[in-house]
Structure 1
């Protein structure tokens, strides 16, 4: 498995948020895996689903109108809908530590709340191999070992292990995606993001507008520019719905309500729109969660939304900049660093 990169262009990590720790587990049988964002003391949660083909778990309970107000972890996984099984391992790990929503007074009467989202990576290697409960457990163990504030590996690891980008003109012209993170601290409050980028579209630097990774030209040596190519009359290849998807978590240590967390997740999609072109397509299930641990002071909510969009865009760029090239059988997915020379 190619090594993960821990030296992104944009510094910081979601684990800089107080009350948040992150772990990855990567399967060695084929490039796939899962990543977990732990909030063991509990966090208020929200979600915003913008893609047309999502694979999710426990998202309805995050609706501000619904009862449950606390989240203990969020799982991001490869393996398409099969990968949702990994959330059971996260629940088991939390339950073993007495963490969960109390549902009675007797021992064991608690339910860990673990929303999840998955991306499609079944076309990279043997599709019969996908993350399950053991992988979710292992990701939690990794998070517990790393702890809050730990440096996070990025690129070909966890939920980003089998990710790819730039598939509008077919897998033969695609490039390696990955998982990335970033954070910003302002007036004592931190906002961070962890984003697994497996997009149909290209990834660009939101600051410069320059492409980083995406659909390649016919000779494979340069970036095609998916949106520009379509506007020039090039026809996209027919893509099975749901075979892509960018998923992620935005976390802050500010104190927020469920409704505000939902809005924060929505602001994160502004960052995806800056970094991925096209985004939110019929073939993507783009889903972002938001968590608020409440362990820091207050910050203007509009400012928090600005930070959420910015760290999401930065983390998306880090995901492909940190990725390494991948070859599985006849499939070759070069990384951004390869085309950069």
Structure 2
């Protein structure tokens, strides 16, 4: 097994678009010839588009793009721009009257930094598509959907740290598997191998991490509130493996193990954690091997996102902190 750049996987194009001043953005993964798709929504506060059609029993078998955007529910507007960009190139599901691009997507909440009134829209969706078609650099950190991502928010933004977008891919013989992940979790981010805390609730005066799980236990008796609902981590796994729609859905579910191993806690009532799977169907493979590789590339993409993130709008990043756990 060797690491590759995710842009080396044929059949997919990757593009970011962002507004750095407003701290929001959009990331798109295009499959011009279509890709078999699945999805798994594990979080309790999701914001999604066109995910019902990915159910195994439903008609459409492939999609032409998946997008991940900031802006909370407003960011779903980016999907319309992506559809317009694909329609202009004659890409879509053939119907009697027109070709209809199939574009599922999901959003995360990033309205607390930058501007709460500037969100991904159809123009930003088209821009992300054009950047993908032009093979613009596909970077990790404060780009696309990760532009306004923040983690460790249980004690407020003054203790939070910068999240971001990350990508990671591997090749085993002819098989290629990769993930693009936006890290905007309620909890902390942990390296699952060293158990080192990379990002989360950070006391800037004491230069000390507080454990989100410890804060949760302290506040267990507090009155329920909505003050934590500013989260959600998203991801898309892409592969050249030959998968059915049912297998794609199951592997999307398995891929969430990558979130569970790196985000503590994960899949909470205030996270909308959603993972997609896209397959071009070129390589026959034992799906049990993918049951290992899917969460592996997800967890590695999470680590890439955090380590590449940079300070933004007063929110510090992994690169700015000293490591101590309280």
TM-score under structure 2 length normalisation = 0.93
8 Å contact from structure 2 (residues 151, 183) kept in 1? yes
Q: Which residue of the partner structure matches residue 275 of structure 1?
A: 262
Matched, 1:298 2:284: yes
Give SS of 2:247's match: helix
8 Å contact from structure 2 (residues 23, 115) kept in 1? no
2-structure distance, mates of 1:339, 1:174: 12
Give SS of 1:319's match: helix
Return 173-182 or 202-211, whichever deviates more: 202-211
Q: Specify which of 110, 113, 125 is matched with residue 102 of structure 2.
A: 113
Task: Map 1:46-65; keep pairs closer than 5 Å.
Answer: 46-65=38-57
Task: Map 1:101-140; keep pairs closer than 5 Å.
Answer: 101-104=93-96, 109-140=98-129
Give SS of 1:283's match: coil
Matched, 1:193 2:179: yes
Matched, 1:145 2:134: yes
Distance 1:266 1:293, change over 3 A: same
Task: Map 1:159-308; keep pairs closer than 5 Å.
Answer: 159-217=145-203, 219=205, 221-231=207-217, 233=218, 238-240=225-227, 242-295=229-282, 297-308=283-294
Structure 1 or 2: more strand by fraction: 2
Task: Map 1:13-32; keep pairs closer than 5 Å.
Answer: 13-32=5-24
Q: Which residue of the partner structure matches residue 36 of structure 2?
A: 44
User: Structure 1 stretches of 5 or more lacking a match?
Assistant: 1-9
**Per-residue deviation, 1:15:** 2.4
8 Å contact from structure 1 (residues 241, 282) kept in 2? no
1-structure distance, mates of 2:199, 2:298: 17
Give SS of 2:202's match: coil
- How many residues align? The count is 320
Matched, 1:94 2:101: no
Distance 1:224 1:11, change over 3 A: farther
**Per-residue deviation, 1:229:** 4.4
**Per-residue deviation, 1:166:** 0.6
Distance 1:241 1:54, change over 3 A: farther
Give SS of 1:261's match: helix
Q: Which residue of the partner structure matches residue 321 of structure 2?
A: 339
8 Å contact from structure 2 (residues 183, 234) kept in 1? yes
Give SS of 2:34's match: strand
Give deviations 1:28-47, integer Å, cap 9, x for gaps: 44110100001111000000
Give deviations 1:141-194, integer Å, cap 9, x for gaps: 1111117xxx62010010000000011222221000000010111121011000
Give SS of 1:288's match: strand
Give SS of 1:333's match: coil
Give SS of 2:66's match: strand
8 Å contact from structure 1 (residues 166, 201) kept in 2? yes
2-structure distance, mates of 1:220, 1:54: 35
8 Å contact from structure 1 (residues 62, 68) kept in 2? yes
